[in-house]
Copies of this chain bind each other. A is one copy, B any other.
Amino acid sequence: MELKNLVAQIRKKHSFLCVGLDTDLEKIPSHLKSAIDPLFEFNKAIVDATADYCVAYKPNIAFYEAYGVSGWQSLEKTIAYINANYPNHFTIADAKRGDIGNTAERYAEAFYNKLQFDSVTLSPYMGTDAIAPFLKQEGKYPIVLALTSNKGAEDFQYIGEGSSTLFEQVVKLTQSYFNSERVMYVVGATKADRLKQIRDLAPKAFFLVPGVGAQGGDLKAVYDNGSNEEVGLLVNSSRGIIYASSGEDFAEAAANSAKKLQLQMKSLLAS
């Protein structure tokens, strides 16, 4: 997908919501568990219910790999369904991959070409060779971990504080790459001041922001500190949407949760 199309969708739908498909057999409604492919049936219902309120979908690859071949089949069907029925939605393989050049090429093949995702999340620990192969294709976007929202983010990502932290150096170096206009970043929602700092380092980049629940306060802080003139944000919610209800009304409940976030986003975009 071209970036200008993503921006156009955000403007048209008044939404920068990404729905995370962290689909877990143990958490889906019991009436779906007898389906031939429960993960896919769940995802299909969630996607159909939420498509009007979001601009992106993000399957979390671990949740599919945990079921082996059958999980990978559910993943293939899910991304094929989204691409066939909602071609204007941006798709993210949340895979956190990161390996040397020839291996990175194979992961790019897996997620960009075999599965046809628009983007894939990457861990930068191994440096440039782990990222550059994901920048070769037009219309495909590596989303590099910068500052994450989990507790363990504090273990290593702030190393170098005082001069230049690890997460700052990751952003600075990747911004210097050929085709760097296609690099996106994972930036956690929990530290608004840091969001602003990373926005200053990468004024035009899209940020994928996890860590916003149904809390409007956080969302406003993310928007105020992280947005740019083309919005530049995809805010993800997973469990708060897809597990809004564990009953037969799960899809309707997911739609309501997604709509609630979308309305908050509409208000922010109009402000």
* A interface, CB within 8 angstroms of B: 22, 24, 60, 62-63, 65-69, 71-73, 76, 94, 96-104, 106-107, 109-110, 114-115, 123-130, 145, 148, 150-157, 159-160, 166, 169-170, 173
Contact = CB atoms under 8 A, between A and B. Distances in A.
A97 B99 CA distance: 10
B150 A126 contact: yes
A125 B171 CA distance: 14
B72 A107 contact: no
A127 B110 contact: no
A151 B127 contact: yes
A156 B169 contact: yes
Contact of A62 (B66, B110, B169): B110
A106 B39 CA distance: 15
Given A68-B115, A98-B98, A98-B123, A129 B151 contact: yes
Contact of A150 (B72, B127, B152, B173): B127
Q: Count this chain's copies in the assembly.
A: 2
A63 B22 contact: no
Contacts of A24: 106
Given A106-B63, A155-B173, A170-B156, A150 B100 contact: yes
A6 B76 CA distance: 37
Contacts of A63: 103, 106
Contacts of A126: 96, 123, 145, 148, 150, 152-153
A10 B98 CA distance: 30
Contacts of A110: 62, 65-66, 68, 71
B66 A156 contact: no
Contacts of A99: 60, 62, 94, 96
A138 to B, nearest CB: 20
19 contacts: A60-B103, A62-B103, A62-B110, A65-B107, A66-B109, A66-B110, A69-B76, A94-B99, A96-B97, A98-B123, A100-B148, A124-B156, A125-B145, A125-B148, A126-B145, A126-B148, A128-B152, A128-B155, A130-B150
Nearest to A65: B110
B129 A66 contact: no
Nearest to A173: B155
Given A62-B97, A103-B62, A150-B100, A127 B68 contact: no
Given A66-B110, A69-B72, 6 more contacts: A62-B106, A65-B107, A123-B125, A125-B148, A126-B150, A127-B157
